[in-house]
Amino acid sequence: MKKLLENWNRYLLTEAAATVDDLIRFNKKSVTGPNQFNVPDDMVDWAADMVESYGPIAVGAMYNFRYTYKEPISGVKTTILPQKDAIQRIIGTPLFEDYKKALVKYLQSMPVPKSIVYIDHNHRGSFTVGYGAILFIPRSRGRAIDVHLKKFESSKRPGRMGKGIPIVDFPAGSIKSIHAKKMYGDNCSDGYISSYTYKTKEGWGPLLYSISMEHASQIGGGLMSDRDLVSGDAKRVWDYFNANKKGVGGPVIPNQMDITQGEANEFSVNQITPNNKKDDCGQKSTLKYALGDEYGDWTKDDEKKIPSLLTTDERDLMSQWTKQSLSKTYTKTPLNIQKLAKANLLHSNFHDLDLEKFYQDKINKQLANLKVGDNLRYRDIKESKIKIKIVSG
């Protein structure tokens, strides 16, 4: 058990296993501009991070930034509109460095993006849980702000399984889960397989696993590992759930599945419930790890194959396949989902939660009620006779 916990700590918990409360706190601390309320070390400079992530030209166009400067000789003011060609003409000149500084300062006066979680539910047998952000973009003309949802499918963390571009320092990453019957043809207690895990920002992976498990429990029989290939790192996650019955935001319940009749015959092991086909599930990854990590971990250079002729000791090990964490599906009450929904940080078609519409309606009402000289905390919105000014708070 001690070794198991050490492995879990090395793999996941040392990343500080973020919770929904941490996401709520993140949204409070990711504030830049003149009204900062956190200590400098606790800040997330989202404006600079966004420019670093997407580049000044793309961000300037996205936020409709107009750059005005004085001609060095004539002193005449010139305004560059947020168009790619116009900005490219100043690249390589001192003006471009000034443009980037002015852009960051301008962004710091915008509403701070809100870090959120999304659940993309596909009724045909899969769903994705990931991090993203709600962006508040001023229109190029008129008294309005448009709300956009951006999905951060993976972080910039080194390693395999990368996809998309997040804002640097924001929570990022995603997990795609597929119904076991759709993927492998087995009933598998109506469970879902955690199939594709894209790179998550340090500390934020465990929460995605827990939310995925909650959603899989809402629509089916819970979440499980892949039935054929499971890396050593992923195996430690399931070992922890099985041994400690603990997840981020509430307990996890392991539910034993059976092995299919075909695999039981092939590997000479017994089924648990031969008269119940609903819990039959492919257990090749389970059987491999029952023989040892050197058989199960496909990421090892010296991975071994299951021998065609098993020794007595090997047969004995494989007969104990039900002791493996990979042989089970895991269910969990939707505590994280409920908390995210209550905090208006969950975007999900399944739960009828549309954050783009929610925040668009909210900001439209606030803008409609503003009068000249009003101070209204959104974070924050102030209106002058000429333009709307947003100040972070």
pLDDT tens digits, one per residue of 343-372: 999 999 999 999 999 999 988 887 777 665
Give the integer Cα–Cα distance in Å for 261 and 50.
Answer: 53
> 273 and 153 share a domain?
yes
Determine the pLDDT at residue 133: 94
With residues binned 3-state (H G I as helix, E B as strand, rest as coil), the percentages for the chain, rounded to 5, are 40, 20, 40
Top pLDDT among 261 and 85 is at: 261
Top pLDDT among 60 and 154 is at: 60
Decide: 16 and 245 in contact? Cβ < 8 Å.
no
- Phi, psi for residue 388 in degrees, rounded to 5: -90, 135
Which amino acid makes up residue 230? V
Report the DSSP pairing between strands 381-383 and 375-376: antiparallel
Residue 37 has pLDDT above 50, yes or no: no
Q: Which of 187-201, 202-216, 377-391 has the lowest mean pLDDT?
A: 377-391
> 328 and 369 share a domain?
no
The three-state secondary structure class of 193 is strand
Measured on CA atoms in the order 79, 83, 89, 93, is the torsion positive or negative?
positive
Would 157 be classed as within a structural domain?
Answer: yes
Residue 383 has pLDDT above 60, yes or no: no
Structure letter (DSSP) for residue 113: P
Decide: 250 and 213 in contact? Cβ < 8 Å.
no
- Where residue 80 falls among pLDDT bands split at 50, 70, 90? confident
Residue 224 tokens read as: 């499980």
pTM recorded for the entire structure? 0.83
- Where residue 195 falls among pLDDT bands split at 50, 70, 90? confident
> 237 and 309 share a domain?
yes
Domain finish residue from 47, 75, 110: 110
Domain finish residue from 293, 312, 338: 338
> 123 and 241 share a domain?
yes
Top pLDDT among 312 and 336 is at: 336
Determine the pLDDT at residue 157: 59
Which residues are paired to 131 by β-bridges? 117, 152
Q: Which residues contact 89 (CB under 8 A, 6 or more apart)?
A: none
Would 348 be classed as within a structural domain?
Answer: no
> 103 and 192 share a domain?
no
Residue with tokens 């400079």: 45
> 368 and 251 share a domain?
no
Decide: 331 and 213 in contact? Cβ < 8 Å.
yes
> 99 and 121 share a domain?
no
> 171 and 132 share a domain?
yes
Structure letter (DSSP) for residue 200: P
Which residues are paired to 331 by β-bridges? 253
Alpha carbon of residue 29 to chain centroid: 19
Choose the most confident range, by mean pLDDT, from 158-172, 208-222, 379-393: 208-222
Q: Which of 248-257, 278-287, 337-346, 359-368 has the lowest mean pLDDT?
A: 359-368
Decide: 164 and 152 in contact? Cβ < 8 Å.
yes
> 141 and 193 share a domain?
yes
Would 225 be classed as within a structural domain?
Answer: yes
> 281 and 147 share a domain?
yes
Choose the most confident range, by mean pLDDT, from 28-32, 223-227, 234-238: 223-227
> 119 and 91 share a domain?
no
Q: Which domain does 386 fall in, by range? A: 355-393
> 139 and 38 share a domain?
no
Would 297 be classed as within a structural domain?
Answer: yes
Would 56 be classed as within a structural domain?
Answer: yes
C-alpha dihedral, 234 to 235 to 240 to 242, nearest 10°: 130
Structural domain tally of the chain? 3
Would 132 be classed as within a structural domain?
Answer: yes
Residue with tokens 């599945």: 257
Q: Which of 103-107, 154-158, 289-293, 338-342 has the lowest mean pLDDT?
A: 154-158
Would 391 be classed as within a structural domain?
Answer: yes
Structure letter (DSSP) for residue 389: E
Nearest to 279 by CA among 217, 328, 330: 328
Would 344 be classed as within a structural domain?
Answer: no
Which residues are paired to 132 by β-bridges? 116, 151
Residue 160 has pLDDT above 70, yes or no: no
DSSP assignment string, 27-45:
HHH---STT--S-GGG---
Residue 126 has pLDDT above 80, yes or no: yes
Residue 16 falls in which region: left (phi positive, over 0), alpha (psi -120 to 50) or beta: left
Determine the pLDDT at residue 159: 52
Domain finish residue from 110, 138, 165: 110
Average pLDDT over residues 188-194: 95
